């Protein structure tokens, strides 16, 4: 199974602490060695780093651990290929433009018999079901709101609507962001926590590294971290229920919708640990 990491913050924050633990799972403490990627938003634009080397050994991952890029929205992904070959074009996260903003998407899961009709405005570059799902989400949003972006709560409802059709095809845990809000959907495994004042010390599971956030934060800071599995062993992570789509803004959940998953799909999902 691949793993996802997302960060949504009230103020620009660097992700080096969480990314250090997360990147260790790319071949060092776990077996997700078929590429990685991370996207950092700065307002509407973003920096996207992808590599088909593992996050544990890639010089690009090393740069990210050493270079504190501050961002309010970050999405990262480490890959264990199940569908699609180990090519750069299959590395998450994926990027497209919609309504004059960059959108970033990463997926953990496995979609079967998923053959959506694409009009051609968005076409996958690689051969993963994940990028196909992203193109379907982008096309669906554009079709519902052809002129310009609607308010975020309307956007979240539209997303739930498009997500429902895709979840019928299998495991569809994803993170999606446009630089304003981060949307996280859970089919099977996804956790989050909110760090806010008064901050305390966190200790990584995957590296012997602690940080006392009280020393490096202000009362204005607030950070939501979303991950496939908890990254720290001394903080309380909230588990998403299957079907939950949560919108994060300014470092906290601001809307939670439930996308119903049919029981037969849920039973199949529980047995599936694949990832594309």
Between CA 102 and CA 111, with CA 107 as vertex, the angle to 5 degrees is 125
CB of 129 to a second copy, least distance (A): 15
Q: 38: exposed, middle or buried (C-beta count within 10 Å: 0-12, 13-18, 19+)?
A: buried
Smallest gap from Cβ 158 to a second copy, in A, equals 17
Comparing CB distances to a second copy, the nearer of 87 and 168 is 87
CA angle (276 as vertex; 191, 156 as ends), nearest 5: 50
Residue number with CB closer to a second copy (228 or 276): 276
Catalytic residue numbers?
2
Cα three-residue angle 253-241-15, rounded to 5 degrees: 45
* Shortest distance, position 16 Cβ to a second copy, whole Å: 13
d(Cα 73, Cα 46) in Å, to the nearest integer?
Answer: 9
CA–CA gap between residue 187 and residue 142 (Å, rounded): 24
Written as six digits, the tokens of 132 are: 């196909």
Closer residue to a second copy, CB minimum distance, 7 or 202: 7
Beta strand pairing call for 170-177 and 238-239:
unpaired
**Residue corresponding to tokens 């790319």:** 26
> Of 30 and 127, which has the nearer Cβ to a second copy?
127
Q: How far is the CB of 230 from a second copy (least distance, A)?
A: 30
Minimum CB distance to a second copy, residue 212 (Å): 26
**Residues contributing to the site for a second copy (CB under 8 A):** 42-52, 59-60, 63, 66-67, 87-89, 91, 95-97, 99-102, 120-126, 146-147
What is the rounded radius of gyration, in angstroms, for the C-alpha atoms of the chain?
17
Q: Please tell me the distance from the alpha carbon of residue 13 to that of residue 62, in angstroms, as a whole number.
A: 18
CA 239 to chain centre: 15
């Amino acid at each position: 199974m691949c793993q996802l990491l997302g960060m949504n913050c009230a103020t620009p924050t660097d992700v080096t602490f969480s990314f250090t633990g997360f990147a260790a799972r790319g071949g060092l403490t776990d077996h997700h060695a078929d590429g990685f990627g991370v996207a950092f938003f700065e307002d509407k634009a973003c920096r996207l780093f992808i590599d088909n080397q593992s996050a544990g050994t890639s010089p690009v991952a090393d740069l990210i651990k050493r270079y504190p890029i501050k961002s309010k929205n970050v999405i990262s992904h480490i890959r264990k290929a199940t569908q699609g070959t180990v090519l750069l074009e299959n590395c998450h996260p994926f990027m497209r433009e919609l309504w004059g903003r960059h959108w970033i998407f990463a997926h953990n899961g496995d979609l079967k018999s998923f053959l959506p009709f694409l009009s051609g405005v968005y076409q996958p570059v690689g051969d993963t079901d994940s990028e196909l799902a992203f193109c379907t989400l982008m096309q669906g949003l554009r079709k519902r709101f052809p002129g310009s972006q609607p308010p975020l709560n309307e956007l979240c409802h539209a997303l739930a609507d498009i997500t429902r059709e895709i979840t019928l095809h299998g495991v569809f845990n994803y993170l999606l962001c446009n630089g304003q809000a981060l949307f996280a959907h859970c089919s099977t495994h996804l956790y989050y926590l909110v760090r806010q004042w008064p901050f305390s010390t966190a200790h990584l599971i995957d590296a012997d590294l602690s940080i006392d956030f009280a020393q490096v934060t202000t009362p204005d800071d607030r950070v939501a971290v979303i991950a496939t599995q908890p990254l720290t062993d001394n903080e309380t992570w909230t588990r998403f229920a299957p079907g939950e789509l949560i919108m994060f803004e300014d470092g906290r959940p601001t809307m939670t919708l439930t996308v119903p998953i049919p029981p037969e799909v849920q039973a199949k999902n529980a047995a599936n640990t694949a990832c594309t």
